[in-house]
Amino acid sequence: MKSRRQIKIALVCLFLVMSLVAVLLLGSLIYRYLNGDFSSTTLLKSETTYVIMFAGLLAFIILLLLIINAAKAVDIYIPEVNLDIDKELSISRFQGNDVIEESQSTRLETYENSLLEKDYKEDENDDDNQIKADNLSKKELYISNSINQEEVNQDKTRFYMLSQIDKEYEVEHDFNFNNTLSLQEICNIFRDFSSYRLNLYYDISDIRRFIAGLATTHIIILQGMSGTGKTSLAYAFGEFLNNSTTILPIQPMWKERTDLIGYYNEFTKKFNETVLLQKLYEANYNDQIYITVLDEMNIARVEYYFAEFLSLLEIPNLEGRMLDVISDEWESDPKLLKKGQLRLPANMWFIGTANNDDSTFAISDKVYDRAMVINLDTKCLPFEAKKTNFEAISASYLEEKFKEAVKKFRITTRNLNRLQKLDEYMIERFHITFGNRIMKQIKTYVPVYVACGGDEVDALDDILSRKVFRKLESQNPVYVRSEAKKLVNFMDDLFGTENMKLCKEVIYKIERTV
């Protein structure tokens, strides 16, 4: 019985025969043209034309028989395979399940080797070929029946890695949190840990800014010269907490959230799970502090690929921060994935490192207003540190210490009045206002900075230079230069000549660039 492969070959051969006849007739026309005879009655009477057509057809029939004979042998050599079985096995190989992969790939390899070892010859009779084809079908059936049904059901999940996390957390985890440290102790111990364990040296003021930034927002941007330790600071903090930092090298072509969390592959019927998606899912299971670094974050447009995260982090209700992962829902989906959505965990912070050069994009005000910016412009000299180990601290405990600091070290009435006068001056002269978001950040950042061992005016100087005075860069530089001296004098009268050095530095920098 002919297979579909043989039928296709026969159809192709028929087409070739018709094409050959057309070519021969055309040749006869050309031949008659060269001999000057266009008579339709004599067109096909030429002996030469008949000889050419007969010889060509005879040669082509011989070639056709050879092709059919070869196709017949090939059809016996490669029998039809059950498509459902093949699809199931190929999906399992893509999945990457170690147990299933090993058993199925071993069976497939044995099956393929048995096919390769068979050397079918053209003179074998049809009965022998039919027996061999039946044997191959039995082997396919054996492979299908021998796969463990439990493994098949496990392989049906489209989120393999997230399902593995579900299994891992079926057993209760004990992280041995040390929830006894004050914010100042955390800063000091972390600084010694970075020096003693990692040979990374940071000024204590930078450590205080970093911890206070964690209290203010879940997005921190570290800026500064190359080699000042922007990525290393976030990495060291993860090591200090005994929960390694996740570092994501941002790619220039990233434009949407799927570049961060992955996407569903319609061909394999699996979700390509990124490391960030796995960490987001895992963070929902425990109370550890998770640090994610967006390395070289502005090599692509932050407001594009990180837009959904920026919006979700502004929602006050933590339970309402639902991240869209996939558009539908399967029964086999992971436990914490509800209607294709995953809760953005409150115990994860995003630390972006940014460089300002020709290869990067400018970070928009939308991102700057929501993030806390820390400039690492100077290198700290090496120093002798105490022998320290990591300190596992829970996220809930850290948030609790932040709230205690905001209540205990509220901004003094004197400095609140100073802020109000500065706000009025900036509105009148530059049409720049603090805004509700910035004021909320100031009232959180300054108390926590003080709780870490810093000074209140220094904290105001730091956050005002990043949040308010930075906006002068978008103003008319000629006008800013003409008003620079007046603004500096106003700051001196308001805060004192020895204070607000960072804010004045921003003003002087703009003045020098004009």
Tell me what percent of the residues of the chain surpass a pLDDT of 90.
58
Q: Is 291 helix (H, G, I), strand (E, B) or coil?
A: strand
Rg over CA atoms, the chain = 37
Q: Name the residue range of residue 457's domain.
A: 409-514
Taking the whole predicted model, whether its pTM rises above 0.85 is answered as no
In terms of domains, do 307 and 428 share one?
no
Supply the DSSP symbol for 250. Answer: -
Q: Residue 198: left (phi > 0), alpha (psi -120 to 50), or beta?
A: alpha
pLDDT of 260 above 80: yes
C-alpha–C-alpha distance, residues 163 and 52, integer Å: 72
C-alpha–C-alpha distance, residues 343 and 347, integer Å: 11
Q: By the 8 A CB rule, do 260 and 297 touch? A: no
Q: Residue 284: left (phi > 0), alpha (psi -120 to 50), or beta?
A: alpha
Q: Is the dihedral of CA 191, 193, 195, 201 positive or negative?
A: negative
Digit-coded pLDDT (tens) for 196-246: 999 999 999 999 999 999 999 999 999 988 777 899 999 999 999 999 999
SS3 labels along 98-137: HHHHHHHHHHHHHHHHHHHHCCCCCCCCHHHHHHHHHHHH
In terms of domains, do 413 and 331 share one?
no
C-alpha–C-alpha distance, residues 474 and 97, integer Å: 53
In terms of domains, do 482 and 343 share one?
no
In terms of domains, do 395 and 447 share one?
no
C-alpha–C-alpha distance, residues 361 and 201, integer Å: 29
**CA 146 from chain center: how many Å?**
37
> Which residue, 31, 22, 143, is CA-closest to 82?
143
C-alpha–C-alpha distance, residues 467 and 506, integer Å: 11
In terms of domains, do 293 and 367 share one?
yes
In terms of domains, do 128 and 177 share one?
no
pLDDT of 499 above 90: yes
In terms of domains, do 281 and 392 share one?
yes
In terms of domains, do 416 and 267 share one?
no
Q: By the 8 A CB rule, do 232 and 293 touch? A: no
| pLDDT (average), residues 127-148 | 45
Token pair belonging to 90: 């190929």
Q: Is 262 helix (H, G, I), strand (E, B) or coil?
A: strand
> Which residue, 15, 136, 2, is CA-closest to 71?
2
Main-chain phi, psi angles of 480, to 5 degrees = -60, -40
Which residue did the predictor score with more confidence, 441 or 17? 441
Domain boundary among 56, 77, 98: 77
In terms of domains, do 120 and 193 share one?
no
In terms of domains, do 350 and 324 share one?
yes
Token pair belonging to 446: 């300054």
User: How far is the first Cα of the chain from the last one, in angstroms, to the nearest whole number?
Assistant: 88
In terms of domains, do 391 and 433 share one?
no
In terms of domains, do 385 and 448 share one?
no
pLDDT of residue 157: 87
State the amino acid at position 288 in one-letter form: Q
Domain boundary among 156, 174, 208: 156
pLDDT of 358 above 50: yes
| pLDDT (average), residues 151-168 | 79
Could you tell me the CATH number of the domain that includes residue 292?
A: 3.40.50.300
pLDDT of residue 1: 45
Q: How many separate domains does the chain show?
A: 4
- How many residues does this entry show for the chain? 514
pLDDT of residue 474: 86
Domain boundary among 124, 156, 188: 156
Q: By the 8 A CB rule, do 162 and 278 touch? A: yes
